[in-house]
Amino acid sequence: MKMVASFSLSLVLAAQLCLANSDTTAPKKLPIPEDKGWSFEKTPVWSDEFNYTGMPDSSKWGYDIGGRGWGNHELQYYTNNGNAYVANGVLTISAKKEEKEGMHYTSARLVSKGKGDFLYGRFEIRAKLPQGKGTWPAIWMLPTDWAYGGWPESGEIDIMEHVGYDPGQVHITAHTKAYYFKINTQKTSIKKVDSIYTAFHTYRLDWTPATLRGYIDDQFVFEMKNEGQGYLVWPFDKRFHMLLNVAVGGDWGGKEGVDENIFPANMLVDYVRVYKMIDKP
């Protein structure tokens, strides 16, 4: 009996020890937030109208620099000089065929990190996209603080992506630990858009505590809802910043090769505007 009692006590102590050492940081199921039909202020809280000449406004934009493939085996070297400039009321991001640090192409990747970081809001960008096989322009958002860990745990929001080998097909996508492209679970919508190379179109994200909603020319295209499953599904309760870039090649953009006769390949941006969400009790 003493042996049984001792064995039972050992089991109890072992169970308590396991509980004490368990991962208390695991995400817990949360209430699904009510969609309160949030609206947005009419005047931008942050914007760049590109009504000047020269380099992009350094109070609003910084640069990612380098040619390490950026996780997608991309072929360009991102610079902070010569590949992004403002004139005639538009920002031009130019991918060029030229040598730089062992890479055969250069481009620019503008980031608002530390200069424009946001939690919720309406994000509106009017742009004209580059044409040609091998181009991969994007208007997107990444977490500023990476509070939940590295990619994809802390999330990614793609307001607009396009790959040149699939003309006119515009993608709006969100990535999280539970939903991302490497396990083929990403939340995405695709819309065929005419004249994206010859005319400006408006790409918009409405981000609230309950949903991500994407629009092209004010037409509703994409929605991802907060399922109340914690950060593995919904890391979109922390600050994000914007990125504007034109990549060359890569696992997706270069899936069917790169047409070397298309360069320079330019994305033109007429404006970037951010509107504050009007909170509701």
Q: Cβ(98)–Cβ(106) under 8 Å?
A: yes
What is the rounded CA–CA span in Å between residue 268 and residue 85? 10
**In 15-61, beta strands by DSSP E:** 39-40, 46-48
Residues with Cβ within 8 Å of residue 21, at least 6 apart in sequence:
none
Catalytic annotation, pick one of 156, 223, 227, 260: 156
Catalytic residue, chosen from 34, 99, 161, 256, is 161
> Please, are residues 212 and 233 in contact by the beta-carbon 8 Å criterion?
no
Q: Would you say 197 and 128 are in contact if contact means Cβ atoms under 8 Å apart? A: yes
- Environment class of residue 281 by beta-carbon count within 10 Å: exposed (0-12), middle (13-18) or buried (19+)? exposed
Ramachandran angles phi, psi of 141, nearest 5°: -140, 145
The secondary structure element, H or E, covering residue 11 is helix 2-20
Rg for the chain (alpha carbons), in Å?
A: 22
Is 156 a known active-site residue?
yes
Catalytic residues: 156, 161
